[in-house]
Structure 1
Amino acid sequence: MPASTTTSLQAWLTLSMLDGVGPLTLTRLLQHFPDPARALDADLLTLQSLGLRPAALDIIQRHQQGDAALGAGLEAVNFWLQQPDCQVLCLNSADYPAQLRRIADPPPLLYLQGNAQLLHEPQLAMVGSRHPGPHGAATARQFARSFAESGLVVTSGMALGIDGACHQGALDAGGETIAVWGTGLNNCYPKRHGALARAIVDQGGLLVSEQPPDAAAHAGQFPRRNRIISGLSLGTLVVEASLNSGSLITARLALEQNREVFAMPGSIHSAQARGCHQLLREGAHLVETVRDVLEVLRLPLLAAIEAQPEPGDIAGQSAPASPLWPLIDHNPVSVDWLGEQSRLPVERVMQELMELELDGRIQHTPHGYSRLS
């Protein structure tokens, strides 16, 4: 019989559906009762001895007295479990990811859609601002692509900005990515990432949540989701973040979980770089290339380093032959400055810039021309 239909799992699902029985209570019960069905039938004194709150004691007793309305959500979960590639893992399951089990507060239940085997593959968490600067998203996408090509699973939180770019970069490479949601897997948040979520599953990736499938978005769920992102991964790379970014929560959780923390430097004039600079001052590994991460993680993936493009190359393409390319970096420069440095006439400079822009190598900003990657 599939794990999703076992009596044991049904008992845990029932408990998780009871208002007042949160993750901490569920974990406490899980640690005490080898057979979770016994938790539903336990007497009041036994439950009190476990230190359960009065609200949890009351709700379990009401369930024992036959209050059928308490289990209304169970039917919806069981319907969801009949959908393709959907399953639930309990903390005491042999298939529960070992990396996540070792954190201080692992989620008692994991709702999964997609390729669950990815939970046991080496992962790198990539996170960052929901409102990245002009280069942040492009950089995140490029690095995620390279990590995926190296064999790492890219894990992120499905948010707008850097998170979405990381998932997309892994997909660009035909690689594997895990999206950890703060909502139930029937409620994509943000909604504009619905197509991205479908692509992740269709291309062999995985969606993960500790919330029941129909759970809506609540602010408090997203910081708790971050411990799963970092807990599944060998390390966390912050691509771009302000000082009040939720990405710093993920980085600090990674430190508490004894995982590696990486950060990319940025412009001293950019508020979106200050969070990364703070992490670097606190001892995070500075990242300028894919090699910087792979060498710290010391995995067999190091064999793939030589296949990585040089910084500034796009997805393995060679550097453009344009004489202006060496003069353009991520800090915008003007046409006049490029003319002075290259000693080319303005007409030639404009022609070279147009070709580089058409090739997707540079962009024109209000402050001048700069690289896209």
Structure 2
Amino acid sequence: MNSTGFRRSLTWIPRKWSGRLLALSMSTEKLLLKLSISRISPANIREYLYSIPGEEDINKDSIRDYLSDYVDVEKVLNLEVEPIYNHLKKKGVNIVSILSDDYPENLKTIPKPPPILFIRGEIVPEDSKAVAIIGTRRPTEYGRSVAWNFAKELASNGFTIISGLAMGIDTNAHRGALEAGGRTIGVIGCGIDRVYPSSNKRLAQMIADGNGAVISDFPPGTPPLKYNFPLRNRIISGLAKGIVAVQAASRSGVFSTVNWALDYGRDVFAVPGNITARQSEGTNRLIKDGAIPVTSPEDILNYFGFSSSVKEEKEVELPGDEQRVFDAIGDEGARIEEICDATGFKPQQVNSILLLLELKGFVREIGGGRYIRNKP
């Protein structure tokens, strides 16, 4: 599914990457912070930034000249932001404007890009080669496995993985990229000083401290309100060259991201799923509506003109009883009692074989007595 064959075309605002920019001065970052937390609309801030020659011209005088018609400028300039600014700096947050070379290149091309971003971690020029992997917060084990492995292989081939740091598909996409030693960017629907859900705080820290970044265009302190997430989804779509929908119910936030992607001229891919699974109703519908069906990471690599640099893995071959248990686990995973039913083995025998398969690295337990295969 691409915008040429599915939706209207849009006006683009191409800007050429000109290399990494040195960090903004402290005073400039504080001015951007004041603009962000004020009541000035993003549209007016964006127009102000476009009206000046460069970000070195972000100063009190230029703000007065352009924004005095829209807001009480002196009130904005006198905002006390020192405590907020110091808190952000302790968290390693940088504040960048759309004029910065540290602003993501792909995001600059969308209509009405966010004028100010808060970034934990680092954005690099290579992040323009990016794919977003999105889906439900309540996936099946099949969905988790697909998200993890697509992200892992795409990241191994130089793609930055974009997702929303939510539970489910997002979490598995980020973790798959990190496992590959690749880059990943998490886009959040709240202030950069928060993480939602809170259970992903450690994951967010791993991304920011490692190969990637966590970004937000919401002012610090913004709570994760429901209506923030469609706005977050536009950034996910804007950052990526293509969107991969792994699993989605018939009513899902995935459609918001897909609609933004179509508006921005991004390609939309969908992973087909079990026709009886609620979690695949949405993705199967996307395919019927024109999304590009993909059943392996290689499909996406080939679409963008790349070939996989990861060697194809041979089919797992194990001794008799081990192979039967491994096969019984399947792509969806299985509980011990389900493995017993499929193999006819007693629980004690299944437990012993599972322990052996874990030691060999072929399977892992994910809680509640449920086991899944470890994919390379």
**TM-score range relative to shorter protein:** 0.7 to 0.9
The aligned residue for residue 54 of structure 1 is: none
Q: Aligned partners of 2:202, 2:372: CA distance in 1, in Å? A: 30
Q: Is 2:278 the partner of 1:255?
A: no
**Contact 2:165–2:187 (Cα < 8 Å) also in 1:** yes
Of residues 285, 292, 311, the one that matches 1:307 is 311
Structure 1 residues 167, 369: closer, same or farther in 2, change over 3 A?
Answer: closer
Matched residue of 1:307: which SS?
Answer: coil
RMSD: 3.4
Give the number of the structure with larger relative contact order, counting CA–CA contacts within 8 Å between residues 6 or more apart: 2
Aligned residues: 340
Say which one has the larger Rg: 1
1:53 aligned residue? none
**Identity, % of aligned positions:** 29
Give, in angstroms, the shift of residue 85 of structure 1.
4.0
Matches within 5 A, 1:1-373: 3-5=23-25, 8-19=28-39, 21-34=40-53, 35-37=57-59, 38=61, 40-42=63-65, 47=69, 57=70, 60-61=71-72, 63-64=73-74, 66=75, 71-72=79-80, 74-80=81-87, 82-83=89-90, 85-117=92-124, 120-299=127-306, 302-304=307-309, 306-309=310-313, 318-322=316-320, 323-324=323-324, 329-330=330-331, 338=342, 346-347=344-345, 351=349, 355=353, 358-359=357-358, 361=363
Look up the SS of the partner of 2:124 in the other structure: helix
CA contact (8 A) 2:127 2:160 kept: no
1:295 Cα deviation from its structure 2 partner: 0.6
Q: Which is worse superposed, 105-114 or 204-213? A: 204-213
- Name the SS for the 2:276 alignment partner: coil
Q: TM-score, normalization: structure 2? A: 0.78
Shift of 1:187: 0.9
Gaps of at least 5 residues in structure 2 are 1-20
Q: 1:253 and 1:121 mapped to 2: Cα distance?
A: 18
Contact 2:365–2:372, Cα closer than 8 Å, also in 1 = yes
Q: Is the 8 A contact 2:38 2:76 kept in 1?
A: no
Residue 22 of structure 1: how far off its partner (Å)? 2.4
Three-state SS of the structure 1 residue aligned to 2:112 is coil
Taking structure 1 as reference, are residues 162 and 332 closer, same or farther at Cα in structure 2, changes over 3 Å only? closer
Q: Judging changes above 3 Å, is the alpha-carbon distance between structure 1 residues 282 and 362 closer, same or farther for their aligned structure 2 residues?
A: farther
Cα distance, 1:79–1:319 mapped onto 2, change above 3 Å: farther
| In structure 2, C-alpha distance between the alignment counterparts of 1:113 and 1:155, rounded to whole Å | 14
Cα shift readout 1:278-332 (whole Å, capped 9, x = no counterpart): 1111221212111011111224xx241x52447xx7xxxx454555356764478
Letter in 2 for 1:255: L
* Ranges in structure 1 where 5+ consecutive residues have no aligned partner: 48-56, 340-345
Deviation, 1:86, is 2.5
User: Under a length normalisation based on structure 1, what TM-score does the superposition of the two structures give?
Assistant: 0.78
